[in-house]
Structure 1
Amino acid sequence: MRNFDPRILVRNAASGVILVLLASIGVFAQSSGPRTLEELKAETQKRVDRNVAPAGGLKSEDAREALANIHSLDRDEWAAAWSAIADRSASRAATEESTDKTKAQQDYLLAWRYYSFARWPTPNSPGKAKAYQNALAAFKNYARFLDPPLETVRIPFEGKEIVGYLRLPNGVRPAPLVLTISALDSRKEESAQGDAPLLRNGIGFFAVDMPGTGEAPIKVDVGAERMFSRILDYVQTRPEVDSKRIAVRSISWSGYWAAKLAYLERARLRGVVIQGGPVDGYFTPEWQKPGLNTDEYLFDLFPARAAIYGVKTLDEFLAYGPRLSLKTEGYLGKPSAPMLIANGVKDTQVPIADLYTLLQSGGSAKEAWVNPDGGHTGRSEEWPNARIFEEIILPWIKARLAPDTQVSRAQRE
């Protein structure tokens, strides 16, 4: 555990809990409400310039052009402005394929990023729905050039199918695997593109959309975690995958599913990462009513959250959530796979109290990384998500997935 900063490490063992900081900080702090058009444009440009979510990887000059063509809060106008930039990149990439495949791949990647931002946070208008389909196509073109290759997997599931991306490192067979679950407004393509560091460390991944998003076959509801159990069934049939060395990585909303899997699939998982995931208090009306106005989220938070449930009105949304609580469902305190729980004290999207609820719930040993200056998922200027992944999450995953000859099961648990 030498990679963890002791100032922000919290440990929970079966014998008790040690909380090393921040007992006096309020855990349900909120911030101001929705942005005006001009405020939205200014904040978007700021996030692009700083390369932070949800605008990471976009170019400042392209953002200025797109934002200049947005004159209202109309969703299709947003989609059209960013799609125009994406169209240009996709067209350029198609031309470059015959002369410079490296540039073509880079431009397909850029096109995917702009199409994805055009449909963000959820494809709830015709223009955004079209942008999402274009994003899938651009990512498919980008992925054609990847080495090691990316395989699109389609798993039969309840008359539909689970669509995921499987990518394994070269020269490692059977390879350990991380099941990576995308979040409320991200998609499996972000996971597949961002998890390349796993490959460099001899670890493969299976990236999938969480229920209610992307190409997932079902909405969020009690029992929807069965979708991920089906994926585990599938990957265990693949001889290229080491079925005894599987972990789960999640971020934001998908942490809910990771936590559930830690309990339900403990026998099949070496470890589970829960970064900024909801557990209990998040699902209450007392959190949701003010929380929907957080300015930590760029815009359209309620439509994004309502879409994963398949509801339309605020009343329906508030009534739907409480039954999803892990406490209400009776999971807390039961034996589980090892967990790494991470978040920031200043998170206004998921209460930091949920981290402590999970950590202190008893059952099996857990570890937590808490950034006292961090917002959602623990990110801050000092600790962007990329750094959290490289310095905190990746070392933990590597330790959990180490061969039995290197790390004993007793040490892992």
Structure 2
Amino acid sequence: MSFSDPRIAPSRTLEELREDTIRRIKGNGYPGRGIRLADAEVAMAELSSLDPDDWAKVWMAAGDGVIAEAERVASPDAQRELYKTAFSTYTMGRFPTPTTPGKQTSYGKAIEAYMRYAELLPQKLEVVRIPFEGKEIIGYFRKPEGAGPFPLMVQCGGLDYWKEQVADEALNYLPHGICVMGLDMPGTGQAPIKGDVGAERMFTTVFDWAQTRPDIDGTRMFMRGVSWGGHWATRVAIAEKDRLLGAINHGGAVHHFFQPEWQLKALGTREYLMDLFGARANVFGVKTLDEFLEYGPRMSLLIDDQIDLPTAPMLVMNGAKDSQVPIADQLLLLQRGDAKEAWINPKGVHMGFGAGWGPERTIKDIIVPWLLKKLAQHKDSQAG
């Protein structure tokens, strides 16, 4: 949980960690959304060190209590909400990424709790396993009622927002007739490969899979990446320009984010609850700060002028006050290559959130209308 290097912000003390965790959960702030305050207060009272497995232990105890409560209630609706609460609680135990045995166990419990929650939702969740380079891509697929074929949005999460949260976001798209495949971005969750140049091939394999499904319309497909995942949406927009109707970079890295100057600035803040360096380094599979700073620049889309290559239609989104992914990256993407559309919240922080804009409103008022517009344009072009 702690990493000592004078070039980045020091870890919180034990008391600071307890206090900031409770503060975030009281305000329903990330990463504490969905956790009950009473459970958090008990967990933080029992936290006795900054050891990551001690952190995982207290949250697993809290999650186990929620599961036991769920198994005592008779109402399926009450059970469903308790399983969802347990998922959030175990997810805090693996936060930000399961790099120790305890955190790995908490992550496994989070997935199990999520599946129990999903089984009680009216919208079916399909766990998809796609062979990939001797391993497998694990995705969560949700589709509207009926036979289809439906347009598809493939969406990946970011550094610590993974396919389980994406699968819940899918519930916002189903009423509009759009199915969703939720994935972990390379280097996170259950993704089969680390983040590196060329890792967008993982998504190409998913689009290949989609075109074998009779319930998916392979001529109407989209890609959205949230936070760091927006970087992969941009790479996919280039690689799959002839196969996609659109791609959305929602707060994702392009160039400046990967440079040592920005990383040291971001790692120097205490905005992130804990172990931001460890989570980011794990995406690349490196250990030391020097290795991380050396590795990052290879990911820039300015190398070989990739940013100027033709892309599928793109929507570029972020907040002007983002302190984790610089708004300069979105502006650079808008200034190079094909013409793109944009939504930039001048008062927003990461992903444009804040100032009246949260995840639900952003989906409802910005993303869904953009997808529907692209689908209507495609329909008109086919009719013509």
Secondary structure in structure 2 of the residue aligned to 1:274: strand
- By how many angstroms is 1:147 displaced? 2.3
Confirm or deny that 1:129 pairs with 2:136: no
> Among residues 214, 227, 238, which one is paired with 2:202 in the alignment?
227
- By how many angstroms is 1:149 displaced? 0.9
- By how many angstroms is 1:41 displaced? 2.4
Counterpart residue number, 2:286: 311
Distance of 1:331 and 1:172 partners within structure 2:
39
Q: CA 1:32 to 1:157, structure 2 compared with 1: closer, same or farther past 3 Å?
A: closer
Q: Read off the aligned partner of 1:50 and give its amino acid letter.
A: G
After TM superposition, list the pairs within 5 Å mapping 1:10-409 onto structure 2. Answer: 34-96=11-73, 99-171=74-146, 173-363=148-338, 365-402=339-376, 404-405=378-379, 407-408=380-381
Counterpart residue number, 2:4: none
- By how many angstroms is 1:314 displaced? 0.6
Distance of 2:236 and 2:365 partners within structure 1:
24
- By how many angstroms is 1:34 displaced? 4.2
Secondary structure in structure 1 of the residue aligned to 2:173: helix
How far does the alpha carbon of each residue in 1:39-73 deviate from its partner, in whole angstroms, 9 at most, with x for none? 33222222212222211122222222222222322
Structure 1: stretches of 5+ with no match in the other structure: 1-30
Contact 2:231/2:252 (<8 A) preserved:
yes
- Runs of 4 or more, structure 1, over 4 Å off, are 31-34
Distance of 1:381 and 1:65 partners within structure 2:
32
- By how many angstroms is 1:403 displaced? 7.1
Contact 2:172/2:363 (<8 A) preserved:
no
Q: Read off the aligned partner of 1:81 and give its amino acid letter.
A: V
Secondary structure in structure 2 of the residue aligned to 1:330: helix
Q: CA 1:289 to 1:89, structure 2 compared with 1: closer, same or farther past 3 Å?
A: same
- By how many angstroms is 1:95 displaced? 3.6
Distance of 2:63 and 2:265 partners within structure 1:
35
- By how many angstroms is 1:329 displaced? 4.4
- By how many angstroms is 1:33 displaced? 5.8
How far does the alpha carbon of each residue in 1:12-61 deviate from its partner, in whole angstroms, 9 at most, with x for none? xxxxxxxxxxxxxxxxxxx9764333333222222212222211122222
Distance of 1:295 and 1:343 partners within structure 2:
20
Give the RMSD, CA atoms, in angstroms. Answer: 1.9
Secondary structure in structure 1 of the residue aligned to 2:218: strand
Distance of 1:323 and 1:130 partners within structure 2:
33
Contact 1:34/1:293 (<8 A) preserved:
no
Q: Read off the aligned partner of 2:374 and give its amino acid letter.
A: R
- By how many angstroms is 1:172 displaced? 5.5
Distance of 1:362 and 1:167 partners within structure 2:
33
Contact 2:142/2:170 (<8 A) preserved:
no
Q: Read off the aligned partner of 2:185 and give its amino acid letter.
A: M
Q: CA 1:192 to 1:362, structure 2 compared with 1: closer, same or farther past 3 Å?
A: same
Contact 1:340/1:367 (<8 A) preserved:
yes
Distance of 1:212 and 1:106 partners within structure 2:
30
Structure 2: stretches of 5+ with no match in the other structure: 1-7
Secondary structure in structure 2 of the residue aligned to 1:247: strand
Secondary structure in structure 1 of the residue aligned to 2:325: coil
Q: CA 1:88 to 1:270, structure 2 compared with 1: closer, same or farther past 3 Å?
A: same
Secondary structure in structure 2 of the residue aligned to 1:319: helix
Looking at secondary structure, tell me which structure has more helix per residue. Answer: 2
Which has the larger displacement, 222-231 or 142-151? 142-151
- By how many angstroms is 1:385 displaced? 2.3
TM-score (norm: length of structure 2): 0.94
Secondary structure in structure 2 of the residue aligned to 1:343: strand
Calculate percent identity across the aligned residue pairs: 47
Contact 1:276/1:343 (<8 A) preserved:
yes
Distance of 1:329 and 1:42 partners within structure 2:
47
Secondary structure in structure 2 of the residue aligned to 1:295: coil
Which has the larger displacement, 256-265 or 67-76? 67-76
Q: Read off the aligned partner of 1:397 and give its amino acid letter.
A: L
